[in-house]
Structure 1
Amino acid sequence: MKGLLCCLFATLSWGGMFPVMTHALTHIDPFNFTTLRYGIAGVAFALLLLFREGRSAFRLQGERWGLAWLFGTLGFAGFGFLVFLGQHLAGPGGALTASIMMATMPMLGLLTVWALKKVRPRASTFGFILLSFSGVLLVITHGDFASVLHSPGNLTANLLLIAGALCWVLYTVGGSYFSGWSPLRYTTLTTLLGMTSVAAIDGLLLGTGTLAVPSAAAVTAVIPHLLYMSLIAGLMAVLCWNIGNRIVTPTNGVLFMDVVPVTAFVVSALNGVLPTEVQIAGAAITATALVLNNLNQRKIARQSAPQPVLKTAAARR
């Protein structure tokens, strides 16, 4: 029950962050918001790691800090900038589109593991991947598939969202390269190292005049959004996700990704942005693909498991 509740809390929090960002993006751009968000989350993670594991946990001598910086850059600069910029470009319905992209992460993860670790998915898995993306296409096109090609703005937004989701998948897979680190240490150090890239990119955009320095009024207006995104959808959700998956295993935990778009749909509807019947059908197709793939992976695992050898009566004697 503890594992299930932890996974549920994490995905409910992540589902709520997209409608929250819809509000925040009316006051501030996604780049400055992401910098402020991960700045707060980074300090919170650092204090928690210091309390739990002490100062030695921050020492990177002899560690693969360059690789940790790369994954941190992908996870925080890549995900934060690309996803929320894509959501901003997608307009009022961007929260729904962004949330359904998050439900495709397990499928993107299979393709990523294939590319990085040469573990090729089975043919049945490819079928579920195609089914998943067909549901995504229904959500982002409202059933009009030609609109993807005829609307460059929507195409750009969707490509940014997919790229951002892929960045988070790469960051998640990156944890397997640091098996000697606790989940808290991996999260904290990659956040702090990734923040160097976040700050550098944001500083470059501000210095070249591409972005304007946010006003004090804009920052004040998004303080509630920052607190939610950094402390609830950031700190608490990530920790609960790590704890929950350790208890119920990632095979079961990944099913909770279905909660993300459902939560976003409900919160958006309460704010007046109602999903169409086609979008609901697309979300259901993507969720079904995720569940079926999960069941398929369980079947494959059972078939691959070594069978116990039964001793004969003669052998026992």
Structure 2
Amino acid sequence: MRKEYLKGMALCLTAALAWGVSFPVMGQALLRMDPFNFTALRYGAAAAIMLAILFYKEGGAALKLRGERYVLAWALGSCGFCGYGFFIFHGQQLAGQSGALSASAMIATTPMLTLVLNWAIRGKRPSAVAFGCIGLSFYGVLLVVSGGAPGSLLHQGVASDSAAFLLLGAASWALYTLGASFFPGWSGYRYSAITTGLGLTTILLADFSLQALGYIPRPALAELPALLPYLAYMVLVAGVLAVLCWNLGNKIITPTNGVLFLDVVPLTAFAVEALAGTPIAAGQLLGAACTGAALVLNNLYQRRPLAVSASLPSSRPG
């Protein structure tokens, strides 16, 4: 059981690292295409791959939704892929040069949003330890993205329209992650594929509507060759591998524990920017240590019930 829990942690960490890299990648892609058309292209390809994987893993019966909560699955897929894809990357585009770090930093609010949503939906009050770990982790993220001086964020600021879209994106992903708990009989593969496929319908409808209303242009085919490297990463790594790892991992350790790994996202985005030549301050190293400590403390706290159950004698007849 402990090995299974560690496997779940490793899967969630893999997803977080992949998404951390995705923000600098999207920073380059957004110079060539708007986030709405890019999201449609991205999840059009990702949905096809996800459904093919589900068919291979679980057969054609897993693709059928007779008598199941397909409306809820569509709503959650719309939140997770249309809502998140449109809002977070439109907010990143509006934030300009600092968009990659601003967007990834906003993802650090997702653990708190998930706990609050879980409390509101299920009436389950989070423990003080959970709030403490999230607070420590979030403080570490603030240290990292502010260069070691969180107070400077009040002076730098992010435009209100950008911040609003970024927050909506983070809330959309929190709701999608929490929504997996409403499908206990679905595997991580099935939840990923079905919600991506259903969410794609909302993405395409919204994208075509925005084009028809003149808010966004039709995608220029001439830009596709230059976009291919970024599209490949966002589809195969951030869109398929990361989403599968995320849903499989949360199936093991539960969403309220898995979401804490999202605080690794801005740390990864920052590390990519640092490798590109951005200097690292001592306060930022302290921030990374705070976030790492929060993950470790939360892990130790969550594994206590596992250790207790493992020490109890088996009740099975023998």
Tell me what 1:72 maps to.
77
SS at match of 1:222: helix
Q: Judging changes above 3 Å, is the alpha-carbon distance between structure 1 residues 17 and 200 closer, same or farther for their aligned structure 2 residues?
A: same
Question: Is 1:54 matched with 2:55?
Answer: no
2:235 is matched with: 230
Distance 1:109-1:235 versus aligned 2 partners, 3 A rule:
same
Partner of 2:92: 87
Q: 1:175 matched to which residue of 2? A: 180
Q: Does 1:17 align with 2:22?
A: yes
CA–CA distance in structure 2, aligned partners of residues 17 and 252 of structure 1: 22
Could you tell me how far 1:254 is from its partner in structure 2? 5.6
Contact between 1:139 and 1:278, CA under 8 Å: does it hold in 2?
A: yes
Shift of 1:308: 5.2
**Corresponding residue for 2:127?**
122
Matches within 5 A, 1:232-247: 232-244=237-249
1:22 Cα offset (Å): 0.5
Given that 1:141 and 1:148 are in contact with CA atoms closer than 8 Å, whether structure 2 keeps it comes out as no
Q: Which amino acid aligns with 2:65?
A: L
Kindly report structure 1 stretches of 4+ aligned residues shifted beyond 6 Å. Answer: 247-252, 302-307
What pairs with 1:134-283 in structure 2 (closer than 5 Å)?
134-137=139-142, 143=149, 145=151, 148=154, 153=159, 155-244=160-249, 256-273=261-278, 282=287
Deviations 1:152-186 (A, max 9, x none): 62x33233222212211211111111111121111
Give the residue type in structure 2 aligned to 1:40.
A
* Percent identical residues: 49
The CA distance in 2 between the partners of 1:44 and 1:214, in whole Å, is 22
Write the deviation string for residues 122-159 of structure 1: whole angstroms up to 9, x where unpaired.
33443444444445555666647586588562x33233
The answer (yes or no) to whether the contact 1:104–1:286 under 8 Å persists in 2 is no
- Distance in structure 2 (CA, Å) of the matches to 1:29 and 1:159: 18
Alpha carbons 2:145, 2:270 under 8 Å: kept = no
1:287 to 1:271, Cα distance in 2 relative to 1, 3 A: same
SS in 2 for 1:90: helix
Per the alignment, residue 316 of structure 2 pairs with: none
Which sections of structure 2, spanning at least 5 residues, go unmatched? 314-318
- Taking the aligned partners of 1:121 and 1:172, their CA distance within structure 2 comes to 16
Determine the structure 1 residue equivalent to 2:34: 29
Which deviates further from its counterpart, 280-289 or 78-87? 280-289
Q: State the Cα RMSD in Å.
A: 3.3
Quick one: distance in 2 between partners of 1:139 and 1:258? 11
* Greater mean deviation of Cα atoms: 221-230 or 127-136: 127-136
> How far, CA to CA, are the matches of 2:251 and 2:123 in structure 1?
25
- More deviation in 279-288 or 68-77? 279-288
